[in-house]
Amino acid sequence: MPSTEAPPGAKRWVPPHPQSIEELKSAAADCHGCELYEDATQTVFGRGAPRARMVFVGEQPGDVEDQRGLPFVGPAGRLLREAVDDAGIDPGDLYITNSVKHFRFELRGRRRVHQTPGPAHIASCRPWLVAEFALLQPELVVLLGATAGKALIGPSFRVTQQRGRLMPWPASAQHPEDFPVAQIQALATIHPSAVLRADDRDTAYRGLVDDLKVAAAAIAN
């Protein structure tokens, strides 16, 4: 039966003074901040350069990521790497993570069908994102799709309206106090999975690359 109680949230599992992403990642492996850990295979933490200038934030791990324990290693990840390359972003400048760190799905027969995480999952998992930002101190955050926008800006975020332009962040968040991190810039774009689902894939892909070029230009110096 679905519980109506708010989940406890990840905060109590986040170490108070983490020294490295590895330390956060191993603490997150035990997180029971919401119910998603119960059915998923494992926590899928972020990964990338320890001094990344850009942090990419997706939605949640997919089926492949859940099994391999790494973010963006399935079809959406392949497309994202290609787009990063076409936008002229150095992959060595990147760290990639998700708004929610366990795979949410529904079983249909033997198939695990992706389910979009809800506001309670996003809120429960936010302490991990905050801890990642606090450690990495990037210059720019790239929000991939609606869930990342809702997690880092707020529920009124609309990717169609806010994509492709630089925003001050966390100043532009509805509750900037949720993010006790340095002021940087944010850029929203569509999720690579939306490109894979689009009727006109070429146009959707070009749109993603054009947005990522704005991110590339923002950190070029």
| Residues near ligand SF4, by CB under 6 A | 10, 28, 31-34, 36-37, 43, 100-102, 121, 124-125
Nearer to ligand URA, 94 or 171 (CB): 94
Query: How far is 116 from 109, CA to CA, in rounded Å?
Result: 19
Q: SS3 of 2, please?
A: coil
Minimum distance between the CB of residue 175 and ligand SF4, rounded to whole angstroms? 18
Q: Any idea which residue has 């926590």 for tokens?
A: 43
- Would strands 111-114 and 105-108 be described as parallel, antiparallel, or unpaired? antiparallel
Interhelix angle 75-86/201-219, rounded to 10 degrees, is 60
Minimum gap (Å) between residue 202 Cβ and ligand SF4: 34
Taking the complex as a whole, the smallest distance from the CB of residue 168 to ligand SF4 amounts, in Å, to: 27
Q: Which is nearer to ligand SF4, 131 or 187 (CB)?
A: 131
Q: Which ranges constitute the DSSP H helices of the chain?
A: 21-28, 63-68, 75-86, 119-136, 145-152, 159-162, 192-197, 201-219
Task: Give the x-and-dash track for 80-119 against ligand URA (CB under 6 A).
Answer: ------------------x---------------------
| Contact flag: residue 48 with ligand URA (CB under 6 A) | no
Write the interaction track for ligand URA spanning residues 178-197; mark x where CB under 6 A is met and - where it is not: ---------------x----
